[in-house]
Amino acid sequence: MKHKSKINIENLIELASFEVSEEEKKQLENELDEFLAYAHVIDNAPCGDMTPSSHAVEKEAYMREDEISAWDKVEKIMGNSPVTEGQSYLVPPQKTTAVMLDDENEESEKPYDGELEPVIGLEVHARLKTKSKLFCSCSTQFGDEANSNACPVCSGQPGVLPVLNREAVNMAIIAGLAVGCTVNKHSVFARKNYFYPDLPKGYQISQFEEPVCSGGGVDIEIDGKVKTVRLNRIHMEEDAGKMVHVGAPGIWGAKASAVDFNRCSVPLIEIVTEPDLSSPEEAREYVTMLRAVLVSLGICDGNMEEGSLKCDANVSVRPVGSKKLGVKVEIKNMNSFKAIERALDFEIVRLKKMKQKGIRIKQETRGWDESGQKTYSMRGKEESQDYRYFPDPDLLPVVLTDEWINSLKDRVTESPLNGKKKCIDNYSFSENEARLFMVNPSYSEYFEKVLQYYDNPRALANWFFSEILSQTGGDMGSIHITPDDLAEFLKRIDKGEISGKIGKDVLKKAFTEKKGLVEIIENENLKQETDTGVIEKIIDEIIEKNPSQVAEYKSGKTKLLGFFVGETMKASQGKANPKIVNEILREKLK
């Protein structure tokens, strides 16, 4: 820039078409000269090899610890809403938008009569188990009263600034390490712009061009064959709020919609696959395996009913042998493993019929109707440009170091398939038993803790599968029996101190009354009688009282042994050791 010391003020005034006094003209001339002098200094400042920064100041992103700090003025947020009911914001009825119906606006193409194959890619959103939200200190507790976990940041009030939760970043890194991703040392948060009442800011903070993790894969097993489903990326983002619609399944046509911002800014990771899945069965197995990974890592509870794990599917069909992908349809609202499989089954059949009839497939988003067991059109499918992504100016890039990444490696657990093989090889599990442990990491965790006190895995497995799971309903989070208590209980059975029948009764009572197993055995004096002298005395009395049965037994009616065993157990109040009773009776009845 060539510095000029003088500006033609007359030309500027004439161009602007306004009248100024001589004094004002002199003041403007002085201000312009000062500005140009400053610009000259800046233009000639030495920059060296400095590269442009994505932010005005290049510095380390500030992160906060995962601690809850409730905002005590929620009523002020509520006051900004035009209409409220209870603890919810109300959105008035919305006019319906034109949605493409399956039997309308059909475009024709040449019918295809050859064999078609499906191509499936999945996007799984996993809610992270942090105590506080991604960009504020509000609690992430599920099921709290509507809008009780909200503050100016997560409710999108003007002028507030997000602060990143460090533990959420840790969990995203752990997930990437567990599935073989490349953890990127530089990642950027972006604004994903769209407008919906459950998104108070008018945009969602997510990651787009530079995610925290790239690549990787998840192994699945179908019919004994292992297949690796490649991952495209794992990125962090915040959840939106929750809406409850009155009078219709969606916002369009509903009489009103209640909005709860408790879920706003709850931390998520989105795991995106490559289009590697070729059947609904594979898709279901992939989500099952991915859930097992995330739950075993302790970063997600995997509860699909509560929305902790949500899955969207992209599906298309193409001629068998073709490498070109067909027009994809996205399916949403699948909240169970069965729903994922059934929704894909339905949609694949629908897409194949359209190709065979020569109906052009349009890219769209469809929902899964659980009651009708079919998909329905929701809207045209968005592309990334529709969201107008751009780097969030309020958040600096996340810069990771090798030291940071390596410090989290000890929180990575073994893969589900390796855990399954371990159960079969080391514990003599059946295939079904091992799979049950593989998809329910809480089972394996509890089992391993008991084995620290008890060294008979097969005996433990028998009691675990037949009794423990039936009493807990499969929910190991509700079990009150400690691993060492169960181990001592099993040792007493092995020693013959209590019988298997007494053991089952003790277990039932323990779960009913929420008491310890050994506590019940001790308090109710349920220890078996193993003193052979005491048992012999009882048996002698029974033999003396039943001479006719003794004679029948000796004449060949050996089934009467059960009679004598029953009488002995009754006389001992069930405490006599059955094995010792049988041995003594056989000897005395010869």
Query: Has residue 421 been placed in a domain?
Result: no
Same domain for 436 and 401? no
**For residues 107 and 104, what is the distance between their CA atoms, to the nearest angstrom?**
9
Q: Decide if pLDDT at 72 tops 60.
A: yes
| Average of per-residue pLDDT across 236-255 | 82
Q: Are residues 518 and 537 in the same domain?
A: no
Identify whether 331 is part of a domain. Answer: yes
Coil/strand/helix, residue 428? coil
Lowest mean pLDDT among 56-60, 252-256, 418-422, 546-550: 56-60
The whole-angstrom separation of Cα 578 and Cα 499 is 8
H or E stretch including 74? helix 74-79
- In this predicted structure, the answer to whether residue 411 has a pLDDT above a threshold of 80 is yes
> 441 and 395 in one domain?
no
* Count of CB atoms situated within 10 Å of the CB of 278: 14
pLDDT for 75 equals 74
- Helices and strands in the chain: count of H runs, count of E runs: 19, 21
Q: Which residues of 229-267 are buried (b: 16+ CB within 10 A; e: fewer)?
A: bebbbbbbbbbbbbbebeeeebbbebebbbbbbbbbbbb
Residue 271 belongs to some domain of the structure: yes
Same domain, 90 and 177: yes
Residue 412 in any domain: the answer is no
Q: Are residues 229 and 162 in the same domain?
A: yes
Inform me whether the pLDDT recorded for 380 exceeds 90: no
Percent of the chain at pLDDT exceeding 70: 90
Whether the per-residue pLDDT at 16 is higher than 70: the answer is: no
Given CA atoms 333, 439, 234, 68 in this order, what sign does their dihedral have? positive
What is the side-by-side strand order in the sheet with 390-391? 203-207, 189-193, 390-391
* The Cα angle at residue 154 between residues 151 and 159, in degrees rounded to 5: 85
Is there a single domain that holds both residue 253 and residue 352? yes
What backbone torsions phi and psi does residue 95 show, to the nearest 5 degrees? Answer: -70, 140
**DSSP per-residue codes, 293-326:** HHHHHTS----TTTTSEEEEEEEEEEETT--S--
Residue whose token pair is 């039932």: 508
> Which of 493, 523, 553 corresponds to the end of one domain?
523
506-516 pLDDT per residue, tens:
999 999 999 99
- Burial label, 4 (beta-carbon count in 10 A; 0-12, 13-18, 19+): exposed
Amino acid 101: pLDDT: 46
For the sheet with 88-91, list strands across it. Answer: 84-85, 88-91, 256-260, 242-246
Q: What is the pLDDT of residues 85-115, one digit of tens each?
A: 777 767 767 665 544 445 445 677 888 889 9
pLDDT of residue 36: 80
Residues 392 and 458 in one domain: no
Does residue 96 sit within a domain?
yes
Domain span at residue 19 reads: 9-43
- The pTM of the full predicted model, rounded to 2 decimals, is 0.78
The token duo for 366 is 């469809």
Residue 61 lies in a domain: no
- d(C-alpha 576, C-alpha 570), whole Å: 9
**Predicted local distance difference test score (pLDDT) of residue 170:** 98
How many structural domains comprise the chain?
A: 4
Angle, CA of 490, 493 and 495, to the nearest 5°: 110
At 80 the pLDDT is 67
Domain check: are 300 and 165 in the same one? Answer: yes
In the predicted model, is pLDDT for residue 79 greater than 90?
A: no
Query: What pLDDT, on the 0 to 100 scale, is given for residue 1?
Result: 44
pLDDT tens-digit series, residues 293-351: 999 999 999 999 888 999 999 999 999 989 999 999 999 988 899 999 999 999 999 99
pLDDT digits (tens, 9 = 90+) for 444-471: 999 999 999 999 999 999 999 999 999 9
Last residue of a domain, one of 405, 436, 468: 405
End-to-end CA distance of the chain: 120
Binning pLDDT at 50, 70 and 90, where does residue 398 land? Answer: very high
With respect to residue 295, please indicate whether it lies within any of the assigned structural domains: yes
Computed over every residue of the chain, the mean pLDDT equals: 87
Strand blocks (E) in 92-177: 116-127, 164-165
What is the share, in percent, of the chain residues with pLDDT greater than 90? 55
Domain shared by 400 and 275, yes or no: yes
Residues 190 and 257 in one domain: yes
Is-contact 327 361, C-beta < 8 A? yes
Residue 340 domain-assigned (yes or no): yes
User: Is the same domain home to 519 and 537?
Assistant: no
Confidence at residue 103, expressed as pLDDT on a 0 to 100 scale: 47
Same domain (yes/no): 186, 107 = yes
Q: Which comes out higher in pLDDT, residue 279 or 575?
A: 279
**252 band by pLDDT with thresholds 50, 70 and 90:** low
